[in-house]
Every structure is written in structure tokens, then in C-alpha cells.
Amino acid sequence: MINVNALGQFFRGRRQGQGFTECVNENISLMSGGLVDPKKLFSQGMAAAEGAGAFLALGPGGTYTGFGSISLGTRLLKDLTGAIGLAGATRVGVVTAGVAVTRTFAVSVQ
């Protein structure tokens, strides 16, 4: 059963001295009536993100003129940014940021 009174905790904010992560964990536990373990929820989510990051950062994406071999994530970002009409420095910036994110998530599984 969901603890509706937990909404008060959410809108009042953290207790003095309570860390952000501890507060989020408490809110999840309260709102789910203790049925969801926040630590399991986040560890499973991070495992999925790490796996997706590794797949995108390490998976072969073919070759690109001037760059040689590129990752699958780079290829997908390159194609997506072109499809939505980004060009020049904006496109390069978005692709670079996206590749950095996939590599960040992939680090722990390499």
C-alpha cells in the first residue's frame, strides 16, 4: 500500500543533515510502501546503463572518412544529428557529448 503521507516528506524537503541520496531512497521506500528496495532499483538501472554504454561505445559502427573506425554510438549519434538537421559545430558538439556519455557508462564494464 502506498503511503500518501509520504508526499509531505517529498514537498517539505530533506531533513537537516540528510544527504540527497538518503532522501531519495527514503522517498522511494515511503511511496512504494516498502515494496521497492531503492538500492536494488538503482543498481539494476545502472547495470543496464553500463551495458548500453558499453554496447554503444565498444560496438563496431563501421568507418567514417577522415576518422577511420568509429563506434556504434558515434555512428548512431552522427546519423541522428544529421536526420534532425543539426550541422557544423552544433552537430559536432552533440556527437562529442553523446560519445562521452556512452564512454562514461562503459568504463566500469571494460
| Tens digits of residue pLDDT in 83-93 | 999 888 998 89
pTM beyond 0.85 = no
Grid coordinates standing for 98? Answer: 553523446
SS (H, E, C) 12-30: HCCCCCCCHHHHHHHHHHH
| Tens digits of residue pLDDT in 43-80 | 776 667 777 777 777 777 777 767 678 888 888 888 88
Burial of 76 (0-12, 13-18, 19+ CB in 10 A): middle
Contact in structure between 73 and 99 (CB atoms under 8 Å): yes
What integer pLDDT is reported at residue 68 of this predicted model?
Answer: 74
CA-wise closest residue to 54 among 104, 94, 96: 104
